[in-house]
């Protein structure tokens, strides 16, 4: 049976040890990072190897391809896309125009991914930053108000779906109010529930029909004073019952320092809270083995949600004139987007293959 987990890998190609581990573990899917990307032919070969290791041609292969600071595929083989905040700027504040640009940008990114065999993208970011919040979200957000984020986030998801790629809304129920980076520390949000409901939760409720969601490693004291949303039964229940999300819920990366305890403990608590799927990104075999020891088989309602998500992948993507539409997109953006500086946000590290 398939295991309810998504794993990363270490380098450009699979080692013999990785092939053997994945064959035995049979994870539901895989996730790629910049360390796994050299050129298009290499990425295609790696994607093929990953699926061959579990004997499933439909095994999901994920990537974080937002644009801006979070873009695993980039020049010289792929375009550099803008961060979320650039769309509204390029549209001079016109939300309808920005929505068209967001959808087109997502459709173009989906084309890039579909060409490589990658069928899931960890977008859109539906977080709404508040003043003085940590910049971990920052310009990754489409706007600074929840209604606009909801509209532009839906446009991104629709562009992905039209291109044959599943979107993942993140970071449910919201990371925009965090005053620390959950890659390194555990953010604690003490905002009253009514205020969260009127602001942070709005984009997630508006996009609750999407196939997949990724949790926030954030404590919301109004929901659960002790546990971050990822490992909180009350937090997952809020996503299901209050926000109405019926799709597959996966945790954010288990190796992030916001979570406490061993990897096995983090995995057990995430599943016990109600997450359908675990995620471990850095490609370290010893850590993956520890996570696997606490990973259940994919069955019951979790399997139904996973199957329903995969069923939404269109086999014939919406027609696209890639050269003309790409030129139109970047002309409309007019070069007005920030160039990423420093390392990728959330780039999970792994030992290089010899």
By the 8 A CB rule, do 169 and 213 touch?
A: yes
Among the options 64, 112, 139, 252, which is catalytic?
252
* Cβ atoms < 10 Å from Cβ of 102: 28
Quote the crossing angle between the two packed helices 16-25 and 40-54, to the nearest 10°. Answer: 40
CA 198/CA 237 separation, integer angstroms: 18
* Sheet strands side by side (includes 212-215): 248-250, 212-215, 166-172, 120-121, 61-63, 27-32, 3-7, 278-280
33-47 as b/e: b if 16+ CB within 10 A:
bbbbbeeeeebebbb
Active site residue 185: no
CA 34/CA 40 separation, integer angstroms: 12
Among the options 183, 197, 242, 344, which is catalytic?
183
By the 8 A CB rule, do 172 and 116 touch?
A: no
Give how far Cα 147 sits from Cα of 126, 160, 265, 322, 353, Å: 10, 20, 37, 30, 45
Active site residue 184: no
Active-site positions read 183, 252
């Amino acid at each position: 049976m398939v295991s309810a987990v998504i794993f990363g890998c270490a380098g450009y190609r699979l080692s013999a040890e990785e092939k053997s581990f994945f064959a035995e573990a049979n994870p539901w899917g895989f996730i790629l990072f910049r360390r796994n990307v050299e050129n298009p032919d290499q990425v295609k070969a790696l994607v093929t190897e990953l699926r061959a290791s579990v004997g499933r041609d439909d095994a999901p292969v994920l990537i974080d391809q937002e644009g801006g600071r979070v873009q695993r595929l980039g020049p010289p083989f792929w375009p550099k896309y803008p961060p979320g905040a650039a769309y509204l700027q390029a549209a001079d504040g016109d939300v309808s125009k920005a929505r068209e640009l967001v959808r087109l940008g997502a459709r173009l990114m989906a084309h890039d991914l579909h060409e490589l065999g990658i069928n899931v993208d960890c977008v859109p970011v539906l977080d709404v930053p508040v003043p003085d919040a940590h910049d971990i979200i920052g310009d990754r957000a489409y706007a600074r108000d929840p209604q606009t984020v909801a509209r532009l986030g839906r446009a991104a998801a629709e562009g992905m779906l039209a291109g044959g790629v599943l979107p993942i809304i993140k970071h449910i129920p919201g990371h925009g109010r965090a005053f620390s980076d959950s890659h390194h520390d555990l953010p604690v949000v003490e905002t009253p529930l009514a205020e969260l409901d009127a602001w942070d939760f709005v984009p997630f409720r508006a996009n609750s029909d999407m196939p997949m969601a990724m949790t926030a490693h954030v404590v919301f004291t109004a929901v659960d004073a002790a546990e971050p949303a990822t490992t909180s039964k009350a937090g997952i229940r809020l996503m299901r019952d209050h926000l109405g999300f019926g799709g597959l819920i996966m945790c954010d990366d288990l190796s992030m320092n916001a979570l406490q305890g061993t990897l096995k403990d983090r995995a057990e608590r995430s599943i016990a809270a109600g997450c359908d799927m675990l995620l471990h990104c850095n490609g370290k075999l010893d850590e993956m083995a520890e996570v696997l020891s606490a990973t259940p088989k994919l069955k019951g309602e979790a399997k139904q949600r996973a199957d329903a998500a995969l069923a939404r992948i269109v086999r014939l993507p919406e027609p696209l004139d890639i050269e003309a539409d790409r030129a139109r997109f970047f002309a409309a953006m007019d070069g007005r987007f920030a160039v990423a500086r420093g390392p990728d946000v959330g780039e999970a590290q792994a030992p290089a293959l010899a």
